[in-house]
Structure 1
Amino acid sequence: MRELHKNKTLVWTLFFAFAAILLGVLRMRTLVPPDEGRYAEMAREMFASGDWITTRLNGIKYFEKPPLQTWMNALTFEVFGLGDWQARLWTGLCGLMGVVLTGHAGKRVFGERIGFYAALVLASSLYWVICSQVNSVDMSLSSMMTIALCALLIAQRDDATPSEQRNWMLVCWAGMALSVLAKGLIGLVLPGGVLVLYTLFARDWKIWTRLHLVKGLLLFFLIAAPWFVLVGLKNPEQPHFFFIHEHFDRFLKKEHHREAAWWVFFALLAIGSVPWIGVLVQSLVLGAKPEQGALRFKPRLLLLVWVAFIILFFTKSNSKLPGYIVPVFPAAALLIAIYLDGGTRRSRMLTAGLTALLGAGLLGFVPFMLRLAHRPGEDALYAAYQPWVLAAGLVLLIGGLLSMLYARQMQRDLTVLILAIAGFAGTELLLTGFEPIGQVRAGTRLLPALEAAGATNPATHVYSVGIYEQSLTFYLGRTVTLVDYLDEFSFGLEQQPELAIPTIPAFVERWRLDAAAGVKSVAITRPDIAADLKRQGVPLRVVADDGRRTVIANF
């Protein structure tokens, strides 16, 4: 019982169960805006148009991100058809791959038990599980960076043969190239910055002779460069917008209005590490301690630098979004696994106790959940969510208490396993139960009325007035004409202003012309705009209203 990591049947059973659940629940939730709807719609348009070079959103050029996420989603649509789980499949596979790579790197570099622990820790960390089930570029980037990190660790270990070092370094370079295709220069800047700082702290100057720079750079550019060349040739405006505006301006300026407190990423690291928060600090401290027996390469120090540099880098940025620090969790999982293997019984009991306390906190929160409702009818949504939060709380409470028992009995493998199962199961319950709230946020309850009004008919004009509904557009399966709305479309509409209507008065004129010509028109707008149009005497009929959006028709 104390050597569970050596039980191959158990290990493979855990892997297949984890993969089945992680991928199986992808179909159980509506695509929640903005990110999930945005990237699903971009892929749908790529799939429908056959243009795999110029990325578009709502038919408008959209160059904020490179195409890897869109490519993989479009490929999934090509193979499996359109749908929720298809839009999330690439993300789920990325999360699964990250767990496998982290476990494999832990086993090769630190030992079999640590590899087992590292996979369990990452597979149950709150933030990694959530991001594995959300259609967003953050997990795509993180998994590609995990390839680079794990390959570097395996390649640089002291007992690596020359062929292993070469081959794994080429995998590392490929991982960085794919990271660039996932989210841009950050895929090269972050690993590069980590390597520079590691060299300074470890005084391992010769590591640069072991990177296979010539072959690696050649492979890097063979993978990363072609799309940037092709998209720049087809769209000369893309390089400046992407490299200058989306990188340097986003990092240095506040025009994106994504500022946050300096400590936000430290808090997210702690919250995202649940149920392992009780050993997080100790694990990071361990990374800074001298490594016994290391002749050349210091893997713990590299992992610490990876976590610290990425967090500090984005802390300095004027653009702060929660997904930015997802790439730190594989490195953090390895450090936590190292500490769990050699740490004290008290620390493992503390982690288990905090997990039980968190479960008790969720149970205590359940009766107050209805206070989260801020719109009419939302109390019913939170009431439907209460049983799921209750179940998650019970799982964490029971799992934490069982883990405390096993920790007290000095059964490390069982302690870690039970905590991991509790953390993963609790997170999945919280995600799955969110579906009714997700439906409202996505606006999918308006779909029957929109379909009845002919919005899915290509002959019907569909307008989006003062808003843009990311997920609803994907579910309609067509683009809409934007009215009085710019936001993320500003750059694209500068290139193609004819694709939108700039003002509401201009829209009203078009609306009246449609009606006079007998053309069916439908508009999705805010309730206040619909009420204002009605006061102006604009001919319209309210087709549907969910309190957040109003659908009107001209017939």
Structure 2
Amino acid sequence: MIKLLEKRPILTIISLVALLIFPILDILEVSIMEARNFISAREMLVDSNWVLTTMSGEARYQKPPLPTWLTAISASVFGLKNIWGLRLPAALMVMLLGSMVFTLSRKLKLSKNQSLGNGLIAVTSLYVVLIIFEAPWDIYAHAFMLTGIYFLVKILNAERNSILNTICASLFIGCSILSKGPVALYVLLLPFILSYIAIYRKNASSKTWSLSILSIVLGLFIGFSWYLYVRYADPATFSRMAENETGNWTSYNVRPFYYYWSFFVQSGVWTLPAFISLIYPYLKSRVSDLKAYQFTWLWTILAVVLLSIIPEKKSRYLMPILIPLAINCGFYVDYLMRKFNGLRDRKETIPVYFNFGLLGTVFLLLSVAGIVSPFILEGVSWWLLPLSIILIFISVILLRSLIKKNFEYVFMFSLCALIISLFCFTQVQKFEIPWQETSINNNSSNTVATFEAFESKEKLPIYIFDVKSPEMIWASGRILPQIYDDKAVLLPPEDKFYLLVFEIEFSEVSKTLQGYETEYQFTIDLNKVPKTSRNYTGRKRAEVFKVEKLDR
């Protein structure tokens, strides 16, 4: 099977990503990070704010615009309300990332088989998939930077077309900076350079190093050009936002140095193989290319150390570490494909049986649950039934291959089972939640789930008290000007208007709206879960008031 897929490795990676991600692009709710990106994309198309980016009419320079540009272009094709189309560019970045893991592995002189495995491990790592929903800027920055690194390796290897390679490296490094500032420079490019110097320094000449440095310098110029323009066009706002952003590095989400030490867990189904691949004394004598293994091992470790130095820490910042980790994990997977059938030492075989035996068992249980679900859950698609039956066969083949020690089949059928399991999960997610019928759509509670309720009301401008809910602004389909910003009151010029107020703001409203009469209208609740759920958030629930200025 591997031999068949080897003939079209890039197509294999792209197809797997399409099967894995495309069916779920419009299933999950729009996250807070996505909402900010989508709002800015909408205002690019509607208000032409392509360079001086905005969110609900207010300047938003905290993040560079390239991902938003690509999102806006996709929205112009698929429509501003098409969540699948809005998320498509981020999914394409996963395809790019997987393809670049493969091509970079080939440049490290790894076999086609192993390189393909590296790419497949990368795109099926848990947080690589989740990151396109939680933080759409990150996947762009790291996919572009990895592409830039690929061209840097071509330069360092003194391959032909050095000028073209220099231009491409500069362009993609610049695109990475235009996606999320210097993040990928620090956590992906810097540890790559340090690792390359440590392991491959003798392979590069002074000329190739000079071209590489030139590429990085040109990339910095391209990437920071937007920042320089915004600094010139709107200096006061830019300086204030830059100060807040840099202040967060040392005072926001501060975590201990060891916070990232469980980074390999973010690999999801590859957690145990990823961990074993990091045990250098064990694997160094078993890999196909010791130098390449030392390089990816050091690249991974240095990335973790560099991230750990920064006081501000979030789990999603670990995503770029999964890139060198996927290549590093590939050495262990390649070893198992070559030698597992002949292994007799239980210390080596037990972890494999445990990891993939557990996976096969979980997939088997999920398939049984999938078969039962259409009969006990109203609204679940009957497509779940044949998919679950297919999953049973795949799970059985996976476990049977494990018993027969055919690791090549174990690897491939684990990927197949993962794809089908995720697709089955999306089918379950589509069924109607009973609580919504009795709560969100219950007229007696005067609570609605959309902004359509305004259509039956008096036509008045709509304001928001404070921009605390990007999801609410995105759902409104319009700009919602705020009247309270950094303790400064910006009262509307109109005598009558609607005002969205969140629960945490009630104490401030009465102080701010002195001289106005407020009348409660209804509540907008965008939550898809009941209030008893830990995923319920007050940020998605707002009371709507009709506000009218009192006659003096």
Range into which the TM-score falls when normalised by the shorter chain: 0.7 to 0.9
| 1:479-499 superposed Cα distances (whole Å, 9 cap, x missing partner) | 213355x5xxx5xx9xxx57x
Aligned residues of 2:100 and 2:146 also touching (Cα < 8 A): yes
Change (3 A) 1:527 1:232: closer
Aligned residues of 1:198 and 1:305 also touching (Cα < 8 A): yes
Cα distance, 1:411 vs structure 2? 2.9
Task: State how far apart, in whole Å, the 2-side matches of 1:244 and 1:199 are.
Answer: 34
Aligned residues of 2:13 and 2:120 also touching (Cα < 8 A): no
Change (3 A) 1:100 1:474: same
Task: State how far apart, in whole Å, the 1-side matches of 2:199 and 2:158 are.
Answer: 22
Task: State how far apart, in whole Å, the 1-side matches of 2:165 and 2:2 are.
Answer: 33
| 1:243-290 superposed Cα distances (whole Å, 9 cap, x missing partner) | 55424x333x22x2x1345444333x3332121122112222359848
Task: State how far apart, in whole Å, the 2-side matches of 1:532 and 1:273 are.
Answer: 46
Corresponding residue SS for 1:540 = strand
Task: State how far apart, in whole Å, the 2-side matches of 1:214 and 1:469 are.
Answer: 43
Following superposition of structure 1 onto structure 2, how do residues 50-89 of structure 1 map, counting pairs within 5 Å? 50-82=48-80, 83-89=82-88
Following superposition of structure 1 onto structure 2, how do residues 282-293 of structure 1 map, counting pairs within 5 Å? 282-286=276-280, 289=284
Following superposition of structure 1 onto structure 2, how do residues 5-16 of structure 1 map, counting pairs within 5 Å? 5-8=5-8, 14-15=12-13
Tell me which amino acid in the other structure corresponds to 1:539: E
Cα distance, 1:239 vs structure 2? 5.5
Following superposition of structure 1 onto structure 2, how do residues 163-182 of structure 1 map, counting pairs within 5 Å? 163=160, 167-168=164-165, 170-182=167-179
Cα distance, 1:312 vs structure 2? 2.1
Identity of aligned residues (%): 15
| 1:38-72 superposed Cα distances (whole Å, 9 cap, x missing partner) | 11111111222212211211211122211112121
Q: Which blocks of at least 5 consecutive residues in structure 1 are unaligned? A: 367-379, 502-509
| 1:457-489 superposed Cα distances (whole Å, 9 cap, x missing partner) | 9x62223236632122112221213355x5xxx
Task: State how far apart, in whole Å, the 1-side matches of 2:395 and 2:129 are.
Answer: 18
Following superposition of structure 1 onto structure 2, how do residues 308-347 of structure 1 map, counting pairs within 5 Å? 308-343=301-336, 344-345=339-340, 346=349
Larger deviation: 460-469 or 541-550? 541-550
- Residue equivalent to 1:451: 452
- Residue equivalent to 1:278: 272
Task: State how far apart, in whole Å, the 2-side matches of 1:274 and 1:333 are.
Answer: 12
| 1:514-553 superposed Cα distances (whole Å, 9 cap, x missing partner) | 6xx5x452424339939997xx984333355576424324
Tell me which amino acid in the other structure corresponds to 2:78: F
Task: State how far apart, in whole Å, the 2-side matches of 1:54 and 1:170 are.
Answer: 27
Cα distance, 1:2 vs structure 2? 6.4
Cα distance, 1:90 vs structure 2? 1.4
- Residue equivalent to 2:543: 551
Cα distance, 1:88 vs structure 2? 0.9
Change (3 A) 1:528 1:74: closer
The structure showing larger relative contact order (alpha-carbon pairs under 8 Å, at least 6 residues apart) is 1
| 1:89-135 superposed Cα distances (whole Å, 9 cap, x missing partner) | 21111011111221222244301101221122123222112224556
Corresponding residue SS for 1:163 = coil
- State yes or no: 1:162 paired with 2:159: yes
Corresponding residue SS for 2:235 = coil
Task: State how far apart, in whole Å, the 2-side matches of 1:183 and 1:64 are.
Answer: 9
Of 347, 350, 355, 1:351 maps to 355
- Residue equivalent to 1:463: 463
Aligned residues of 1:530 and 1:550 also touching (Cα < 8 A): no
Cα distance, 1:321 vs structure 2? 1.7
Following superposition of structure 1 onto structure 2, how do residues 399-548 of structure 1 map, counting pairs within 5 Å? 402-430=397-425, 433-434=428-429, 450-454=451-455, 460-465=460-465, 468-484=468-484, 500=490, 517=495, 519-526=496-503, 529=506, 538-542=518-522, 544=524, 548=538
Cα distance, 1:342 vs structure 2? 1.7
Corresponding residue SS for 1:552 = strand
Aligned residues of 1:141 and 1:183 also touching (Cα < 8 A): yes
Change (3 A) 1:461 1:58: same
Aligned residues of 2:465 and 2:499 also touching (Cα < 8 A): no
- Residue equivalent to 1:301: 294
Corresponding residue SS for 2:464 = strand
Task: State how far apart, in whole Å, the 1-side matches of 2:456 and 2:74 are.
Answer: 26
Of 181, 185, 202, 1:184 maps to 181
Aligned residues of 1:455 and 1:476 also touching (Cα < 8 A): no
Cα distance, 1:186 vs structure 2? 2.1
Tell me which amino acid in the other structure corresponds to 1:235: D
- Residue equivalent to 2:119: 119
Aligned residues of 1:40 and 1:135 also touching (Cα < 8 A): no
Tell me which amino acid in the other structure corresponds to 1:231: V
| 1:336-357 superposed Cα distances (whole Å, 9 cap, x missing partner) | 2222112352254343124236
Task: State how far apart, in whole Å, the 2-side matches of 1:292 and 1:86 are.
Answer: 42
Change (3 A) 1:53 1:455: farther
Larger deviation: 345-354 or 165-174? 165-174
| 1:193-219 superposed Cα distances (whole Å, 9 cap, x missing partner) | 314532563372674732314641453
Cα distance, 1:154 vs structure 2? 4.8
TM-score normalised by length of structure 1: 0.75
Aligned residues of 2:152 and 2:212 also touching (Cα < 8 A): no
Change (3 A) 1:80 1:59: same
Q: Which blocks of at least 5 consecutive residues in structure 2 are unaligned? A: 341-348, 371-375, 442-446, 511-515, 532-537, 548-552
Aligned residues of 1:145 and 1:327 also touching (Cα < 8 A): no
Change (3 A) 1:12 1:182: closer
- Residue equivalent to 1:373: none
Cα distance, 1:80 vs structure 2? 2.8
Aligned residues of 2:91 and 2:132 also touching (Cα < 8 A): yes
- Residue equivalent to 2:233: 234
Larger deviation: 51-60 or 236-245? 236-245
Of 27, 32, 35, 1:34 maps to 32
Aligned residues of 1:126 and 1:274 also touching (Cα < 8 A): yes
Corresponding residue SS for 2:311 = coil
Corresponding residue SS for 1:453 = helix
Corresponding residue SS for 2:245 = helix
